Amino acid sequence: RIRAKKFVDDSGTKHYEIYGPLFFGSVTAFNEKFDVDEDPSEVIIDFKDSRVSDMSAIEALNKLTERYHSAGKKLHLKHLSEDCRLLLKNAEGVIDVNIYEDPSYRVAVDRA
């Protein structure tokens, strides 16, 4: 089961926080979460609690990207795992998405 929490931040960007895996069995429910016509010009899909699992998911992202692009809006993907990024990289010919590069964090270490 896939779910989405939606909110608009102070700058007017709409965020979709996705929960649950995106794969062939959840693509239809995933697509129903988005309101391309009513969304603002900047949209972020946050996959912190999700994962892109297969080519059906990549194709769903490709179609969603095309819908936002056709509406003159920019779509960003955020918090993709390394394996998700690899899947998307392997599908470069299929998908064209603006991926937010998440920062690399280091762990603080006590040196005594």
pTM: 0.79
Domains present along the chain, CATH in parentheses: 3-99 (3.30.750.24)
Q: How confident is the model at residue 81 (pLDDT cuts 50, 70, 90)?
A: confident
Residue whose pair of structure tokens reads 């391309």 in the numeric block? 36
Mean pLDDT estimate for the chain:
84
pLDDT score of 53: 85
pLDDT at position 17 over 70:
yes
CA angle (105, 54, 67) in 5-degree steps: 85
Task: Report whether pLDDT(98) > 70.
Answer: no
Cα 12 off chain centre by:
18
Instruction: State the pLDDT confidence band at 38, using cuts at 50, 70 and 90.
Output: very high
CB neighbourhood size of 22 (10 A):
24
Distance, in Å, from the CA atom of 20 to the CA atom of 49, rounded to the nearest integer, reads 7
